[in-house]
Amino acid sequence: MVSAQPMAQDTVAPAVRELIARRSAMTRSEDDMITPGTGTVPEVRHDSFTVGLELPAPPETVFEAFADTPLRRRWFRLPGRELSYRHDFAVPGGETATSEFPVPDAPPERLAYASRYLDITSAARIVYTYTSTVNDLLRWTSLVTVELRPEGGGTRLRWTEQAAFLTPSEEPAHDLPHLRGATRLRLNGLAAAVRAGRQDT
């Protein structure tokens, strides 16, 4: 269960940057990914995880934090210097973002995110797919299901992600924990945005 304690954006961003940096340090090049003597690439690794979060706001308010672009921007950003961003909250719309992430003693990494909404049920469910790319190399793609249920005057959020890791790191066993950790940090940012929104009203 994720803590719903508020976390400021300037706290979330460095933590996410640290996770990206750790993943980047372990990333191999496309040539390194070829199995010696076979000319083939490794098998795709499939993993899934579920994260729960209790939020002190009704489902309609939490849903708006996903749907309304200015509100979503309070808790969803790529690490590094933003280069582009677009959000179309509709089926079959989606979201795209690119950024440059500084790497010590090396050129900055180019990060890219692209999603497509598959199902949107107001104040109840959001289903979408997304891809994550580093330096034009597709790292992984995921199917995400976000479910919102009223509970005790607030909302119980259930985030289920099914990922296909296409380009594993040097330590493939760490790929899923890193993705899950980044998701938990992002959802803590969502909790902070929801709390801030309630204080503004």
pLDDT given for residue 39 in this prediction: 54
Q: Rounded to an integer, what distance in angstroms lies between the CA atom of residue 189 and that of residue 191?
A: 5
Q: Are 123 and 59 in contact (CB under 8 A)?
A: yes
H/E stretch holding 116 reads: strand 106-121
Would the pLDDT of 12 be above 70?
Answer: no
Q: Are 118 and 138 in contact (CB under 8 A)?
A: no
H/E stretch holding 18 reads: helix 9-26
Q: What pTM does this model have?
A: 0.79
pLDDT given for residue 28 in this prediction: 44
Mean of the pLDDT values across residues 16-38?
Answer: 46
pLDDT given for residue 120 in this prediction: 98
pLDDT tens digit string along 157-182? 999 999 999 998 778 889 999 999 99
The per-residue pLDDT of the chain, averaged, comes to 85
Q: Rounded to an integer, what distance in angstroms lies between the CA atom of residue 42 and that of residue 85?
A: 32
Q: Coil, helix or strand for 82?
A: strand
pLDDT tens digit string along 81-92? 999 999 999 999
The more confidently predicted of residues 196 and 163 is: 163
pLDDT band at 107 (very low <50, low <70, confident <90, very high): very high
pLDDT given for residue 29 in this prediction: 43
Mean of the pLDDT values across residues 52-64?
Answer: 97
Mean of the pLDDT values across residues 102-122?
Answer: 96
